[in-house]
Structure 1
């Protein structure tokens, strides 16, 4: 089955005590929009990003989460989770987001995006959902979704096919990076094979390996 975009979601300003931004505002509440949206190098046009120290930027311009993984969480929590409920810009369908290879390129609409790194759960996410132990549970589930950088600006919309146009041979996946950095440190050496992994992540891996001796 051809993967596709199930929904394109833009963040709205949310003011809350749990918001990570110093001003108490967050853009984690993202909601589906109609029609195509322009994807620029810095993210989607009209998307609000609150805490830019940890969100946004070239390596985290777009966040994708799989509809299938969202359905698992809906069953786990016993409540519905709408598109955008994970703070994702792109809700995908029939796309193996966890199995996406670092550096893999997706052609969507008239844009080309590149898989960079998994999402790390934070207290803002837990506060938004009202689930105090969400970080632990999200980490254990290990389906973190993927951040993407923009290689070619363009428009994306709900229903657009997601076509993998390039996949690096190293095979290091979003799931492996997440597990290596949070659950299975024995996997850390393998991450250095992924040359498209953001520099900050590569440096973190090297520091951890050096500390291990």
Structure 2
């Protein structure tokens, strides 16, 4: 089995003009060399242009897997360099999209992170990729990657190993919750949160309400 590791650490290269509400976007992430400090709000030197929709402690880092990037390279017929998805971490040997909500990883010597929620594609992402109907294509594929909460700060760099420290028993993955959430998934997450196994962010409560309305509960 391939050892899970960080292929690249990416942070904003430059702010780009964008027709969205903020006027600029920080989606242009590119790989950097050497160790990078990680704090509770993400990588030192990184930024989110829209703090309403991105960032905060529950979305401090965004991880995307090389397997998923390879899928899109074939689908789109072009290279998918680290950072193209706006990710902070390009990883291998571990699939970010199929990570269990609430599982914890140790990265390198001292950084610990927790899987929180799927990335929801937006119009800015579509403009970045330059692909028609990109939001729908990305969503339909379910290869969305995951946001991470920083549990313990430190430094990370390309080549650092990733160790899964804890995987919650509820078994609901990022991809399953994003693409095909069920009432059983919702109850499993609620129970895990109530038992203290995981800590769900407020957005999950909104999704629970939406799911219950959609299924007529």
Please give the TM-score of this superposition, normalised by the length of structure 1: 0.91
Q: Which residue of 2 aligns with 1:67?
A: 66
Shift of 1:142: 0.4
Alignment of 1:33-72 (within 5 A): 33-72=32-71
Runs of 4+ in 1 over 4 A off after TM superposition: none
Q: Which residues of structure 1 form unaligned runs of 5+?
A: none
Q: Is the 8 A contact 2:10 2:87 kept in 1?
A: yes
Task: Give the secondary structure class of the aligned counterpart of 2:188.
Answer: coil
RMSD of the alignment, in Å? 1.4
Q: How far apart are the structure 2 equivalents of 1:71 and 1:21?
A: 32
Shift of 1:97: 1.4
Q: Structure 1's 88 and 21: CA in aligned 2 closer, same or farther, altered over 3 A?
A: farther
Q: Is the 8 A contact 2:18 2:124 kept in 1?
A: no
Q: Which residue of 2 aligns with 1:9?
A: 10
Please give the TM-score of this superposition, normalised by the length of structure 2: 0.90
Deviations, residues 3-38 of structure 1 (Å, cap 9, x unaligned): 0000000013332234x452x111111000001111
Deviations, residues 182-205 of structure 1 (Å, cap 9, x unaligned): xxx5x2441342223322222321
Among 185, 194, 199, which residue is 2:202 paired with? 199
Asked if residue 82 in structure 1 is aligned to residue 77 in structure 2, the reply is: no
Task: Give the secondary structure class of the aligned counterpart of 1:38.
Answer: strand
Alignment of 1:55-204 (within 5 A): 55-109=54-108, 110-180=110-180, 187-194=182-189, 195=193, 196-204=199-207
Q: How far apart are the structure 2 equivalents of 1:200 and 1:48?
A: 22
Aligned length: 206
Q: How far apart are the structure 1 equivalents of 2:187 and 2:124?
A: 30
